[in-house]
Amino acid sequence: MEASEKPDLWDNPEQAQELMQQISNLRDSLQPWEDLRKRLEDLPVLVELAGDGEEPELEAELETSLAEARKQFEKLQLAAVLGEPYDAANAIVTITAGAGGTEACDWAQMLLRMYQMWAQERGYQVELVSSVDGEQAGLRNVTFRVAGPYAYGYLKAEAGVHRLVRLSPFDASKRRHTSFASVDVIPEVPEQEEIAIPPEDLRVETFRSSGAGGQHVNKTDSAVRITHLPTGITVSSQGDRSQHANRRAAMQVLQARLAQRERERRRQEIEGLRGEKGEISFANQIRSYVLQPYTLVKDLRTGVETSNVQAVLDGDLDAFIRAYLLSSAGESK
């Protein structure tokens, strides 16, 4: 603050603008805490008035104020732990069906829907980048982009293997099946960090989209596959009718994966960025979703659980995400 009051501040306009932006960001960060402090200062007065019993409606007002204050605190508490370098970035999510055959492919599609609904509730945008259909149903693999403030910061809590137990709709005998799918989450690379890729390092191919998208998509070579020759990394995009848009989306994913590769090379700086890894099968899951013989969703990392499985499959993930992020923040201290 003292630097902003110096008379020669604007002798260097770029430095001055950067300083003023930092001050503005600090004020924006502190103001919600100040608002919460004022809200809490008003509560003792309500407690005293409600305690007299002369105005019953004040008790309801007190309960509402307490609930709002608690909700505001939890939101600020979570925002405080999202301070890692890429937490504010958009997220690129890949779901891959694992052990379980058709069941696993169907489970991968259920997970896609779950994250779409979670994102929709938050006002985030979801853009399908690529997908590979299962042989009978569901998806063998799907990659999508989630755009919104701190999308990666929240969704990194979902990285790992997810296990489903249910009566199979694909089994004529209606036996109970267990299936698995992995969720991989990486941050989208900010423009200022994009890696320069020489054109000769890329092999670009076009092909006809095999997924849903209408007659136009299936009759033209609108889908794009890009291979980075030095690393062998291959990405594809078929989510748009425009070949140009698909190429742009594929390049975004390639940039993210190359940046991730570089961050992994400097592991001491980004330890744990991708979350837990392992074979997509039993004993490696981070969360279990049980529909039969009872209903339960349990996160094996934090112990958070709920019997309302349908709500979770409809995108109600905040309790799991919050518990994991707070737990991880505590472990890193």
Q: What residue spans define the domains of the chain?
A: 3-81, 90-284
Residue 3 has pLDDT above 60, yes or no: no
Q: What's the pLDDT tens digit per position in 87-138?
A: 989 999 999 999 778 999 999 999 999 999 999 999 999 999 999 998 889 9
Q: How many CB atoms lie within 10 A of CB 47?
A: 14
Output the CA angle 69-116-98, nearest 5 degrees.
Answer: 120
The larger pLDDT score, comparing residue 280 to residue 169, is at 169
Residue 323 has pLDDT above 70, yes or no: yes
Q: Where are the alpha helices (DSSP H) in 170-242?
A: 215-219
| The pLDDT of residue 22 | 66
pLDDT at 215: 41
Q: How confident is the model at residue 214 (pLDDT cuts 50, 70, 90)?
A: very low
Reduced to 3 states (helix: H, G, I; strand: E, B; else coil), residue 12 is coil
Across 20-34, 199-213, 268-282, least confident range: 268-282
pTM above 0.95, yes or no: no
Burial letters 200-224, b for 16+ CB under 10 A, else e: eeeeeeeeebebebeeebeeeebbb
What 26-35 contacts at long range (C-beta under 8 Å, 24+ apart), as own/partner pairs, is 32/72, 32/76, 33/76, 35/72
CA distances from 328 to 131, 171, 222, 278, 321 (A): 31, 40, 42, 19, 11
Which CATH architecture does the domain made up of 90-284 adopt?
2-Layer Sandwich (3.30)
Q: How many CA atoms lie within 13 A of 120 on its CB side?
A: 9
Task: Check residue 200 and report its DSSP letter.
Answer: G
